[in-house]
Amino acid sequence: MIRYFNKFINYLGLALAYMRFNLRAQLEYRQAFISQVVAMFVNDAFWVVFWCLFFTKFPVVRGWTSKDVITLWAINAAGYGIAFSFFRNVNNIPYLIARGQLDSWMLYPRALLPHLLVGTMSATAIGDAIFGYAVYGFFIRPDIPHMLLFVLLSFGVALVFVSFSILVGSLSFYLGNVEALGDQMRGALVAFSTYPASIFDGAIKLILFSFLPAGFVGYLPAQALRELSFIPVLEVFAGGFVMSCVATFVFYYGLSRYESGSLMEMRG
Amino acid sequence: MIASLRKYYWIALMAARTNLAYVGEVAARSVFLAILLYIYLRLWTITYAQSNATRLGDLSLEQMLWYLVATQSIYMSTPKVAQNLDQDVRTGTLAVQLVRPLSFPLYYLWNALGERSVRFGITFLVGSIVALILVGPAPLTVPGYLLLLAALPFAFCLDFLGYFLVGLGAFWLEDTSGVLLIYQKSVMLAGGLLIPMELFPDSIKPIVQALPFSSIVYGPAHLFVHPDLAELGNLLLKQGVAICGFTVCVWFVWTLAVKRVHAMGG
């Protein structure tokens, strides 16, 4: 048990070192970094404006109000931001597999998947994370329990986003290059999870809690925050845990089929 | 003059042919469009039902979905004008292009028009199939298609000028992706991509209608589901004025930008 705990602490140290390094690399182009963060913030704000316009005309959509949709957007953006600002490399998995470029990562004396994930960071995702927390704080004006629950849920949502991206990316081991498919799947996940969940029912709702886990990044967190209930929180983390186990299995099982690209590569 | 036009016509044709080679890829990417259309259908079906209305603005539910097919096809068919121009400026490819016996902005325009016409065609076809399955062909008329075709070239030109201006920002900015994102979202929101102008709150409707973005997305799409010759006339006038204004801006910025190009042999 202590061994696993030490391993976890050791990994946290590695992740922090990568974060520091990646952030410094981003700040080398300070103007570009700031403009990307601000632009992503504004980009998300446009969506909130759209929903405000929509709800001005139609105040309630099957029990969902503008406040619920803003919460939905905030938790989505915060979770997405955390996931991809620190684990941006997850989106490169199909690319690395298809071009046989996992070799350089396999040479390190580290567990492959967690090490690979922290390899790069995204400036725009930082804008998403800032947007999520700022919008929830500014528009919803939560009390302390709601804010703490929001912070907790944002990490659960991030876990689902990262796990889903690993799962989709790992399909490259079996299907060849799935970069386009991965983009579409992630796009679909975000699209389904940023609309009021009450508009979906029947078989689609089943899909949103299984193959395309939009229910875990949208509906359940929004429900938890609306009702200040812990059961949906547990469901979010349970969903994220199951998905991360499946994704890890699919990745390592697929790794046995991996073929090197025999590529000479330097990593700085 | 005719020889010059023929040159640009061939550029557009080449760009279109190049894109036809990737029909499968563009069609596969349209799967996302199918997902979006399904979500919109659910949202608007419930909205119409809750409002107890058969028409919102001047559109029925079927017209609303076909309107969204047209707006999404216009929006999703945008070629990577700003990104490519940004790359040309940063890598110095621009200097090589300037040596050619043609106008660089016009080369970019015709190339974009050729590419966009193919992308729009494929996206619109996929969207139409999805809409046919979801709501059927109810509101479609031949004049609708004709008026859409009449308004689209100018909408594409206007949109091109916007993207070209963003791309020219690469002469001064470290990174133009942020400005690009904001431009895209302005087209989305103020262009009426997700919600027709009639459903905007009365207080901001005149402002949004006065902006050029509605001439890119809302104008052609609304004519498609609600064909009206007088509306076409108004739209063409708006598009013409906006194109003139944007052309002056592009010319001014381009003149400044070209002075910053420094080419070295090698």
Per-residue pLDDT of chain A (268 residues; tens, 9 = 90+): 788 888 888 888 888 888 888 888 888 888 888 888 888 888 889 999 998 888 888 888 888 888 999 999 999 999 999 999 889 899 889 888 888 888 888 888 888 998 999 888 887 888 899 999 999 999 888 999 999 999 999 999 999 999 999 999 999 888 877 777 888 888 889 889 999 888 888 888 888 888 889 999 989 999 999 999 999 999 999 999 999 999 999 999 999 888 776 666 666 5
pLDDT in tens, B160-210: 999 999 999 998 888 888 899 999 999 999 999 989 998 998 888 999 999
How is residue B240 written in tokens?
């013409």
How many domains, in total, are found in chain A?
1
Does any domain span residue A11? yes
Asked if A192 and B35 come within 8 Å (Cβ–Cβ), the reply is yes
Instruction: For chain B of 266 residues, list the mean pLDDT of each consecutive stretch of 10.
Output: 79 85 69 85 89 86 92 91 89 82 90 92 89 79 90 96 94 87 92 90 90 95 93 96 96 90 65
Phi, psi of A61 (to 5 degrees): -115, 100
Q: How far is A265 from chain B (nearest CA, A)?
A: 23
What's the pLDDT at A6? Answer: 85
The pLDDT score that the predictor gives to residue A102 is 86
Of A38, A49, A200, which has the smallest distance from its Cβ to B178's Cβ? A38
Task: In whole angstroms, give the CA distance from residue A178 to residue A41.
Answer: 29
Q: Encoding tokens for residue A130?
A: 């800032």
A237, two tokens = 């983390």
Asked if the Cβ–Cβ distance from B185 to A38 is below 8 Å, we say no
Please tell me which of the candidates B31, B174, B195 has its beta carbon nearest to residue A31.
Answer: B174
Q: Judge: B32–A187 Cβ closer than 8 Å, yes or no.
A: yes
From chain B, the residues in CB contact with A31 under 8 A are 173-175
Please answer yes or no on whether A36 and B179 come within 8 Å at the CB atom.
Answer: no
Query: What is the ipTM score, two decimals?
Result: 0.84
Nearest residue of chain B to residue A37 (CA atoms): B178
Residue A267, domain member (yes or no): no
Separation between Cα atoms, residue B181 and residue B173, nearest integer Å: 14
pLDDT confidence of residue A135: 93
Q: Is residue A65 part of a domain?
A: yes
Residue A44 lies in a domain: yes
Of B28, B32, B178, the CB nearest to A39: B178
Q: What is the predicted pLDDT for the residue at B266?
A: 52
Contact A188 B32 (CB under 8 A): yes
Largest CA distance in chain B: 71
Minimal Cα–Cα distance from A28 to chain B, Å? 11
Please state, in angstroms and rounded to a whole number, the distance separating the CA atoms of residues A173 and A219. Answer: 31
Cβ distance of B39 and A36 shorter than 8 Å: no
CB-CB neighbors (< 8 A) of B178 in chain A: 32, 35-36, 38-40
Q: Give me A74's structure tokens.
A: 């905030």
Which residue in A46, A56, A199 is closest to B46 by CB distance? Answer: A199
Q: Does A57 contact chain B (CB < 8 Å)?
A: yes
The Cα B163–Cα B179 span in angstroms is 10
Judged by a CB distance cut-off of 8 A, whether residue A52 touches chain B is: no
List the single residue in B28, B175, B195 with the smallest CB-CB distance to A35. Answer: B175
Tokens representing B147 are 């008026």
**Scanning the structure block, which residue is given the tokens 């046919």?**
B132
> Which chain A residues touch B195 with a CB distance below 8 Å?
50, 53-54
Residue A103 lies in a domain: yes
Q: Do A39 and B188 touch (CB under 8 A)?
A: no
Instruction: Output the furthest CA–CA distance in chain A (Å, rounded).
Output: 59
The pLDDT score that the predictor gives to residue A63 is 85
Number of A/B CB contacts below 8 angstroms equals 86
Task: Tell me which chain A residues have a C-beta less than 8 angstroms from the C-beta of B199.
Answer: 57
Per the CB < 8 Å rule, is B179 touching A35? yes
Q: Are residues B43 and B61 in contact, defined by beta-carbon separation less than 8 angstroms?
A: no
Q: Which amino acid is at A236?
A: V
* Residues spanned by the domain of A104: 2-255
Residue A264 lies in a domain: no
- Is A195 part of the contact surface with chain B (CB cutoff 8 Å)? yes
| Residues forming beta bridges with residue B56, ordered by sequence position | B59
The answer to whether residue A173 is domain-embedded is yes
